[in-house]
A and B are shown apart, each in its own frame.
Chain A
Amino acid sequence: MKPLPLPEPLRRGSFGWPDLAVMLAVLTLLGLVAHLGSGAMVSFQPPDVSPTISLDPRNLPEYAGRSSLRMFIALGCSTLFTLIYGSIAAHNRRAERLLVPLLDILQSVPVLGFLSITVTGFIALFPGSLLGLEAASIFAIFTSQVWNMTFSFYQSLRTVPKELIEATTLYRLSRWQRFTRLEVPSAAIPLLWNAMMSFGGGWFFVAASEAISVLNQDYTLPGIGSYVAAAVAAEDLAALGWAIATMVVVILLVDQLFWRPLVAWSDKFRLEQSSSGDAPQSWVYDLLTAARVPSLLAQTLSPAFEALDRLMSHLLGTVGDDAVEPETPRDDRLYNLALLLGIGALLTWLVHFVLVTVGITEVATAFRLGVHTLGRVTILLLLATLIWTPIGVAIGFNPRLARLLQPLVQLLASFPANFIFPFATVFFIRTHVSIDWGSILLMALGAQWYILFNSIAGAQTIPSDLREMADDVGLSGVQRWRKLIIPGIFSAWVTGGVTASGGAWNASIVSEVVSWGGTTLRANGLGAYIAQATSAGDWPRIALGIGMMSVFVVGINRLLWRPLYDLAERKYQL
């Protein structure tokens, strides 16, 4: 489907209307960014001078714009971090031994628990300016999206075909050239998909980080998240409705104007040497390729790129001469020992700090609360599986339905669940449902979609001849599920389960304590414990809470998900 006239006649003339459209769009974008960015420069002297949020829906576009700007800045930082961290981890054997496990742990640490630490730090960094809060919010989004982007990039670098690496080494490409011509392109597609997923998840954190009370102090950063918080405080359901509508529009716009064109463009980085069946389409990308301005710009800038290539090649050196590093087992042992000692010392210090300040009984309390939250996550996963797997499989088996519903599911997955929380809270208050049970529903609002999404994807990977075979031999009902569907979607379900469980733990911090106007509901759980410690500024309890949650998440990943994943790899690979 191409809504544009053929690019060819346009190319012959100097400028066509696609060029006009592209230039207008660029100018508008620049103007918007400048306007939204200037909002961050206003004076801010807490607690006396603090920005206020107006509930007039006419302000929503501006608020949404500022939140989006934060998202994009965080995405930029994440990408930069990913490229550097991933490269170092993939190329330096010793750094790898430290960086990869660290990444694994950071991925499991509840991001929201960090807000207290970062908010105080960043406010101290930019006194008298909103920039501190902006930076803290951006940092929260950054930490929520960066780890799995980095992991994906690192994995891609490790799986670049060996002969391609040999070719670039033999043809004496510099490290910079190898990075730009081989590594980034071959990692582009998985990295892009992960960035898209992370970006979707990021809306949750932008909403949570814009209005936050830390160390007995309420901080408000103008944005769509703080608009929702203000609406909750004012018990204004209409304003909430407007916020949700705005959010849907923003997600759709970002998808159409940003992600789709990128996905369409990145299709050329496919590693398979044959052309793929259906290339992704995007009208924005078509517009950009039809316009002459971008290619003219690229041509004009090419000497600059060459110069950059030369400069970076010179700075980073060639790969050829050290591609064959000799092994020195003795040095390695020393390095490992130093690493272990360092980690041991850090852990001892942390345990000491927690024990001295709060005592062993508090640790037991945190553990007991952790078990409560674990129970909630487990119930959530079971219910989500029971409800969404059959629906997902039904959708996946029906290609037409899948095509129709996939964008909707994607939208639901990236829609920040905390926008819906207030409605659920009102419901709980009116019907006197205990938040101890209600928080399961709140956590599920964000996490369940991963199960649905992956069930659909899993069902789609079951080859149709296997399904025909099952019909042919008369498998039906329970038999069909046991012999065909469950083994077929098992790997996909495990992936969905890990993501959903991680998301649920993180969400527990905002779903075990919810308010509506003056009423606050507090559940018994580790998430509520962390939230409470954060707003009270109780450092030892914050550390204990985050540490305990990380232990739970890492433990479950190791004891449950890893073995399941291995099983899926070994036995149920289609």
Chain B
Amino acid sequence: MSLISVDHVSKRFPLPDGKGEFTVLDGVSLTVRAGEVVALLGRSGSGKSTLLRIMSGLIRPSQGAVSSNGVPLRGANPNLAMVFQSFALLPWLTVQDNVELGLAARHVDRSERRERALKAIDIVGLDGFESAYPKELSGGMKQRVGFARAFVLEPEVLFMDEPFSALDVLTAENLRGEIDDLWNAGTFPSKSILIVTHNIEEAVYLADRVVILGSKPGRIRGELPINLPRPHDRSHPRFKVLVDYIYAAMTNPDIEVSAEIGAGRAEPSVVQATLSPFARPLPHVRVGGISGLLELIVEKGEDIDDIPVLAERLQLAVDDLLPLLDAAVMLGFAQVANGDVRLTPVGRDFATTTILRSKDLFRQQAMAHIPVLNAIVLTLREKANGAMRSDFFLGIWDDYFPIEEAERQLATAVDWGRYGELFEYDAGEGRLYLPS
């Protein structure tokens, strides 16, 4: 039975100054059925949080239909409850009052409210803390309150927006396990779960089905049924194969994701050559981060590393690790294939040499492989005084990205340009100029 479904949903935001639109989601169709746990997995920019908010009725799609129990959705969906990344507790209400919030909104009787809230607090293991204020609780306990507040409504579907990503590793592991236990025991207060995450292991561990979203614009690349007995055993060979496969898929946007694992292979893409240098986004990482990552790979002895293993060793979430890998690949310092990362000779040199030489190497690679930095340097050389207002470049980025993203692109380009001594930036005057 379909509880919530979206049909060919797109979401576009207008760019400022009427410069067209920026597409966040493009033609997404997805159905959440009773009795299943679905995970939405995607890198930042894949619109996974936007999709979650469209399905919950918080945002209206630009195109396409959203329905709940077969009825078109208007406004906030009353059949679901959400657990938020930042907990979203009201600091001036006690645990009890926070949990009662949704019941008070439905004008449930005072005594019944108390009783149901106490039951929910009991389920999440917080009895004894009813009269505490959120600021007295640890992060894990705050999120337990978040779960209790959702459970008390007994919603048909429970939405979780990266519920464990604000917690430390051990607390997250503990709480994740308890939620999974509740689900497996059949005492879970809702019929299905939709979880948004960027943690691949978490998705495979919790979900019956993992939906992988692609970036720019956000779209569904494919979905994988997990097909393991619950609770999912992390040491099961299929578990590892699935995690490896998803890593491979997420590091290479050209792989076609299909249920037949390993069926899809990368097709080299040639379409990007004609794009403007400013249309290809820079990954938002610092140069120091790139060289740090490469150094860690070099230190391990070989020049090759398994990405899931690397992620676990560094305790880095996908959203932190993948942009670093992207940048290393863009600069020609590394190659990524089949879930492995391999350093190139110049990458190895970059990671191990002195700071001065590494700057030279970076400058050389950036001029050769990063068209946008090349374009900026050429523009500056055109000018007699070798300087240009940053607004000029921001304007070009603005044609391809929303203004916040354009500003971040500029900030990243400035960081890279400064590191490679390609150009300098005066924040006070907002000017880029060639080093004298």
Q: Interface residues, chain A, CB within 8 Å of chain B?
A: 161, 163-164, 166-174, 177, 181-182, 185, 268-275, 302, 306, 309-310, 313, 318-324, 326, 571
Closest approach, in angstroms, between the C-beta of B199 and any C-beta of chain A? Answer: 19
B56 at the binding interface (Cβ < 8 Å): yes
Known interface pairs A169-B58, A321-B75, A324-B58. Does A174 touch B92 (Cβ–Cβ under 8 Å)?
Answer: no
Return the 7 tightest CB-CB contacts between A and B, nearest first.
A320-B76, A321-B75, A171-B102, A167-B88, A163-B88, A324-B60, A320-B75
Partner of A177 from the list B86, B104, B142 (CB cut-off 8 Å) is: B104
Known interface pairs A161-B88, A324-B59. Does A172 touch B76 (Cβ–Cβ under 8 Å)?
Answer: yes
Chain A hits for B179, CB < 8 A: none
Closest approach, in angstroms, between the C-beta of A246 and any C-beta of chain B? Answer: 38
7 contacts between A and B (CB under 8 A): A167-B84, A168-B101, A170-B57, A172-B106, A174-B105, A177-B104, A309-B104
Chain B hits for A166, CB < 8 A: 53, 58, 82, 84, 88
Check A272 against B78 for contact (C-beta < 8 Å): no
Interface residues of B in 64-83 (CB under 8 A from A): 74-78, 80-82
Q: Which residue of A lies closest to B89 (CB)?
A: A273
Task: Give the distance in Å from the alpha carbon of A170 to the alpha carbon of B58 in the complex.
Answer: 7
Check B135 against A161 for contact (C-beta < 8 Å): no
Check B76 against A181 for contact (C-beta < 8 Å): no
Partner of A169 from the list B76, B80, B136 (CB cut-off 8 Å) is: B76
Interface residues of B in 7-60 (CB under 8 A from A): 53, 56-60
Q: Interface residues, chain B, CB within 8 Å of chain A?
A: 53, 56-60, 74-78, 80-82, 84-93, 101-102, 104-107, 110, 133-136, 142, 149, 153, 428
Partner of B134 from the list A273, A302, A326 (CB cut-off 8 Å) is: A273
Q: DSSP majority for the A interface?
A: helix
Task: Give the distance in Å from the alpha carbon of A173 to the alpha carbon of B75 in the complex.
Answer: 13
Q: Which residue of A lies closest to B60 (CB)?
A: A324
Check A323 against B75 for contact (C-beta < 8 Å): yes
Max count, chain B CB within 10 A of own CB: residue among A168, A169, A172, A571 = A172
Chain A hits for B135, CB < 8 A: 270, 272-275
Task: Give the distance in Å from the alpha carbon of A302 to the alpha carbon of B80 in the complex.
Answer: 29
Check B93 against A181 for contact (C-beta < 8 Å): yes
Known interface pairs A170-B58, A273-B135. Does A321 touch B84 (Cβ–Cβ under 8 Å)?
Answer: no
Check B105 against A173 for contact (C-beta < 8 Å): yes
Q: Which residue of B lies closest to A326 (CB)?
A: B60
Partner of B105 from the list A177, A268, A270, A302 (CB cut-off 8 Å) is: A177
Closest approach, in angstroms, between the C-beta of A270 and any C-beta of chain B? Answer: 7
Check B75 against A322 for contact (C-beta < 8 Å): yes
Chain B hits for A313, CB < 8 A: 107
Check A170 against B56 for contact (C-beta < 8 Å): yes
Check B133 against A571 for contact (C-beta < 8 Å): no
Chain A hits for B134, CB < 8 A: 273
Chain A hits for B60, CB < 8 A: 324, 326
Closest approach, in angstroms, between the C-beta of A156 and any C-beta of chain B? Answer: 14
Closest approach, in angstroms, between the C-beta of A490 and any C-beta of chain B? Answer: 14
Chain B hits for A324, CB < 8 A: 57-60, 75
Check A320 against B57 for contact (C-beta < 8 Å): yes
Check B53 against A172 for contact (C-beta < 8 Å): no
Task: Give the distance in Å from the alpha carbon of A273 to the alpha carbon of B149 in the complex.
Answer: 17
Check A275 against B136 for contact (C-beta < 8 Å): yes
Task: Give the distance in Å from the alpha carbon of A168 to the alpha carbon of B85 in the complex.
Answer: 15
Check B92 against A171 for contact (C-beta < 8 Å): no
Closest approach, in angstroms, between the C-beta of A300 and any C-beta of chain B? Answer: 14
Task: Give the distance in Å from the alpha carbon of A319 to the alpha carbon of B78 in the complex.
Answer: 12
Q: Which residue of B lies closest to A276 (CB)?
A: B135
Q: Which residue of B lies closest to A184 (CB)?
A: B92
Check B81 against A170 for contact (C-beta < 8 Å): yes
Closest approach, in angstroms, between the C-beta of B96 and any C-beta of chain A? Answer: 14
Max count, chain B CB within 10 A of own CB: residue among A161, A169, A269 = A169
Chain A hits for B86, CB < 8 A: 161, 163
Task: Give the distance in Å from the alpha carbon of A185 to the alpha carbon of B101 in the complex.
Answer: 15
Task: Give the distance in Å from the alpha carbon of A293 to the alpha carbon of B104 in the complex.
Answer: 26
Check B105 against A171 for contact (C-beta < 8 Å): yes
Task: Give the distance in Å from the alpha carbon of A310 to the alpha carbon of B107 in the complex.
Answer: 7
Known interface pairs A170-B82, A171-B81, A272-B135. Does A164 touch B90 (Cβ–Cβ under 8 Å)?
Answer: yes
Chain B hits for A163, CB < 8 A: 84-86, 88
Beyond known contacts A163-B84, A268-B133, A313-B107: 12 more, CB 8 A cutoff = A163-B85, A166-B84, A168-B101, A170-B80, A173-B104, A177-B105, A181-B90, A268-B91, A273-B134, A320-B75, A321-B76, A322-B75
Known interface pairs A167-B84, A275-B135. Does A172 touch B89 (Cβ–Cβ under 8 Å)?
Answer: no
Chain B hits for A170, CB < 8 A: 56-58, 76-77, 80-82
Task: Give the distance in Å from the alpha carbon of A30 to the alpha carbon of B232 in the complex.
Answer: 68
Chain B hits for A309, CB < 8 A: 104, 107
Task: Give the distance in Å from the alpha carbon of A313 to the alpha carbon of B56 in the complex.
Answer: 22
Partner of B91 from the list A171, A273, A318 (CB cut-off 8 Å) is: A273
Check A181 against B101 for contact (C-beta < 8 Å): yes
Check B76 against A323 for contact (C-beta < 8 Å): yes
Partner of A321 from the list B74, B88, B428 (CB cut-off 8 Å) is: B74
Task: Give the distance in Å from the alpha carbon of A320 to the alpha carbon of B56 in the complex.
Answer: 11
Q: Which residue of A lies closest to B136 (CB)?
A: A275
Chain B hits for A161, CB < 8 A: 86, 88
Closest approach, in angstroms, between the C-beta of B216 and any C-beta of chain A? Answer: 23
Q: Which residue of A lies closest to B87 (CB)?
A: A273
Closest approach, in angstroms, between the C-beta of A329 and any C-beta of chain B? Answer: 9
Task: Give the distance in Å from the alpha carbon of A177 to the alpha carbon of B76 in the complex.
Answer: 16
Task: Give the distance in Å from the alpha carbon of A27 to the alpha carbon of B105 in the complex.
Answer: 37
Chain A hits for B74, CB < 8 A: 321
Task: Give the distance in Å from the alpha carbon of A170 to the alpha carbon of B78 in the complex.
Answer: 7
Partner of B92 from the list A167, A169, A172, A185 (CB cut-off 8 Å) is: A185
Closest approach, in angstroms, between the C-beta of A277 and any C-beta of chain B? Answer: 12
Partner of A172 from the list B85, B93, B102, B110 (CB cut-off 8 Å) is: B102
Check A185 against B90 for contact (C-beta < 8 Å): yes
Closest approach, in angstroms, between the C-beta of A275 and any C-beta of chain B? Answer: 5
Max count, chain A CB within 10 A of own CB: residue among B56, B107, B110 = B107
Task: Give the distance in Å from the alpha carbon of A318 to the alpha carbon of B77 in the complex.
Answer: 13
Chain A hits for B84, CB < 8 A: 163, 166-167
Max count, chain B CB within 10 A of own CB: residue among A164, A272, A313 = A164
Task: Give the distance in Å from the alpha carbon of A164 to the alpha carbon of B106 in the complex.
Answer: 18
Chain B hits for A326, CB < 8 A: 60
Closest approach, in angstroms, between the C-beta of B144 and any C-beta of chain A? Answer: 14
Partner of B142 from the list A181, A272, A273, A318 (CB cut-off 8 Å) is: A273
Chain A hits for B77, CB < 8 A: 170
Task: Give the distance in Å from the alpha carbon of A302 to the alpha carbon of B101 in the complex.
Answer: 16
Check A164 against B88 for contact (C-beta < 8 Å): yes
Closest approach, in angstroms, between the C-beta of A57 and any C-beta of chain B? Answer: 45
Q: Which residue of B lies closest to A266 (CB)?
A: B92
Chain B hits for A319, CB < 8 A: 76
Closest approach, in angstroms, between the C-beta of A399 and any C-beta of chain B? Answer: 26
Task: Give the distance in Å from the alpha carbon of A270 to the alpha carbon of B91 in the complex.
Answer: 7
Chain A hits for B87, CB < 8 A: 273
Check B59 against A268 for contact (C-beta < 8 Å): no
Task: Give the distance in Å from the alpha carbon of A269 to the alpha carbon of B149 in the complex.
Answer: 20
Chain B hits for A169, CB < 8 A: 58, 76
Chain B hits for A272, CB < 8 A: 91, 135
Q: Which residue of A lies closest to B103 (CB)?
A: A171
Q: Which residue of A lies closest to B86 (CB)?
A: A163
Chain B hits for A173, CB < 8 A: 101, 104-105
Max count, chain A CB within 10 A of own CB: residue among B53, B81, B82 = B82
Closest approach, in angstroms, between the C-beta of A191 and any C-beta of chain B? Answer: 14
Task: Give the distance in Å from the alpha carbon of A313 to the alpha carbon of B106 in the complex.
Answer: 10
Chain B hits for A318, CB < 8 A: 75
Task: Give the distance in Å from the alpha carbon of A320 to the alpha carbon of B74 in the complex.
Answer: 9
Q: Which residue of A lies closest to B58 (CB)?
A: A166
Chain A hits for B133, CB < 8 A: 268
Chain A hits for B107, CB < 8 A: 309-310, 313
Q: Which residue of A lies closest to B137 (CB)?
A: A273
Task: Give the distance in Å from the alpha carbon of A571 to the alpha carbon of B427 in the complex.
Answer: 9
Task: Give the distance in Å from the alpha carbon of A202 to the alpha carbon of B86 in the complex.
Answer: 41
Q: Which residue of B lies closest to A164 (CB)?
A: B88
Task: Give the distance in Å from the alpha carbon of A270 to the alpha carbon of B75 in the complex.
Answer: 30
